[in-house]
Structure 1
Amino acid sequence: MPIVYNKKINGDSTLAIWKIEETEEELLNGLQLKQHELDLISSFNNGKRLLHWLSTRLLLRTMLATADYIDCKFDEHGKPFLANFDYEISLSHSYDYAAVMISKSCAVGVDIELIKHKIKTIKHKFLSDLELAQKQIGDNIDGLYVCWCAKEAIYKWYGKKGLEFRQHIHIKPFKLKKEGSLTAVVELPTGFKELTVNYFKTADNYMVGYVSAAH
């Protein structure tokens, strides 16, 4: 199980990324699954979806350093949570990678995406005109993916439905780097909240964004 990235963040938050090179059988052998989980994965109709599901669970098990059964469930908003471990978690995957973020003290959100040119065709769906006017975003593929991953990470961090990328999450001007951070202002039902989102681009053309903060 090649973990290609493992970083401590904010004291007790950890982000890890794993390159998926194992077969379904190898991944299954590292997990303790109950019947409802076996029924779920048997319903997956493509191999990559199954590999993503298994790899995020095995990475989670590795990060928690436990041989015990991990009861990973989803709440009514679709946010994953652990029923039998006192951690906040966030899961993401894209093509050959799985990413997991955990924390004992605050909410977390992570997103990993393979960079593709087609993001230009949907940029107006998740970015405001004000954001698109920023020179580091505009038609810059990397800039667009930084913003997408940042907003997706914030959406997962919040963990409730109703948060719209274009309407409720606003990216402040930032300096685009291969690894850096940006500030986003989020319009929540309880008021405005400013968040710092970290991001980095991998050598093989993936973008990762992550956030760790109290609600």
Structure 2
Amino acid sequence: MALAYLRELENGVRFAIWRIEETAEDLIGRLQLDEQERETLNRLNKGKRTLHWLATRVLLREMLNTPGYISCPSDANGKPYLANFPQRISLTHSFDYAAVMMSDNGEVGIDLELVKTKILRIADKFMKPAELEGIAGQQRIEQLYACWCAKEAVYKLQGNKGVSFKDNMTILPFEFQDQGVLFLDLDAPNRKTRFKVYYEKFQEYMLGYVMEGN
């Protein structure tokens, strides 16, 4: 794996993006997997899904800088967590990249997406009409991806199933830049919070990430 991007943020938060260049066998050789994790691997379709799963675990090992076993199960809502380390984490992957966000304190969320024109066809599935009114101009596709990544990052941070991108999340109007900040209101049954979400273009991808209490 080759480190493509590493960023240290405030309050003990950091994230890293890695380009996946190894085979599944190479990645497995860098991990300590228990029986349950090997069963998870066997259930995955071979190919990118397997590489993504393995790559995030290898990146966790790099970020924690430990030779010991790292237990990374998922809770009842599908949110991954570290069972034997205190840090909070969020995982993402897209095509040739895997990323991990890690915090020594509160929850975090991160999402990485390859920018494609297909998002124009599904914009009304995750955006309210009022939100879409502010999406215009030559960078409309990138702006929509910034919105998607922001909602996905907040979804991962809050960790509850049944939260709708369209019905429970509202992005306030913002001026899109290649790297910027937007604000997102979460109005869900278990939580009502305004989040400050960071987004930026990374090569041909869009990255969004959020920290609790920021």
Q: With structure 2 as the length reference, what TM-score do the two structures score? A: 0.95
Structure 2 matches for 1:43-58, cutoff 5 A?
A: 43-58=43-58
Tell me how far 1:192 sits from its aligned partner.
2.9
Matched residue, 1:167: 167
- Preserved CA contact (<8 Å) 2:11 2:104: no
The letter for the 1-side match of 2:98 is A
Matched residue, 1:75: 75
Tell me how far 1:72 sits from its aligned partner.
0.3
Matched residue, 2:106: 106
For 1:156 and 1:184, the matched residues in 2 are separated by 14
Matched residue, 2:115: 115
The percentage of aligned residue pairs carrying the same residue is 45
Say if 1:46 and 1:190 are closer, same or farther in 2 by CA, change over 3 A. closer
Tell me how far 1:188 sits from its aligned partner.
3.2
For 2:186 and 2:137, the matched residues in 1 are separated by 19
Q: Confirm whether residue 140 of structure 1 aligns to residue 128 of structure 2.
A: no
For 1:92 and 1:7, the matched residues in 2 are separated by 15
- Preserved CA contact (<8 Å) 1:19 1:98: yes
Tell me how far 1:135 sits from its aligned partner.
3.7
Unaligned segments of structure 1, at least 5 residues = none
Tell me how far 1:138 sits from its aligned partner.
10
For 2:119 and 2:176, the matched residues in 1 are separated by 17
SS in 1 for 2:17: strand
Q: With structure 1 as the length reference, what TM-score do the two structures score? A: 0.95
- Preserved CA contact (<8 Å) 1:151 1:165: yes
Q: What number of residue pairs does the alignment pair up?
A: 214
Q: Confirm whether residue 207 of structure 1 aligns to residue 206 of structure 2.
A: yes
Matched residue, 1:184: 184
Structure 2 matches for 1:81-100, cutoff 5 A?
A: 81-100=81-100
Give me the CA root mean square deviation: 1.7
Structure 2 matches for 1:149-160, cutoff 5 A?
A: 149-160=149-160
SS in 1 for 2:81: strand
- Preserved CA contact (<8 Å) 1:137 1:144: no
The letter for the 2-side match of 1:187 is D
For 1:116 and 1:157, the matched residues in 2 are separated by 25
Structure 2 matches for 1:23-38, cutoff 5 A?
A: 23-38=23-38
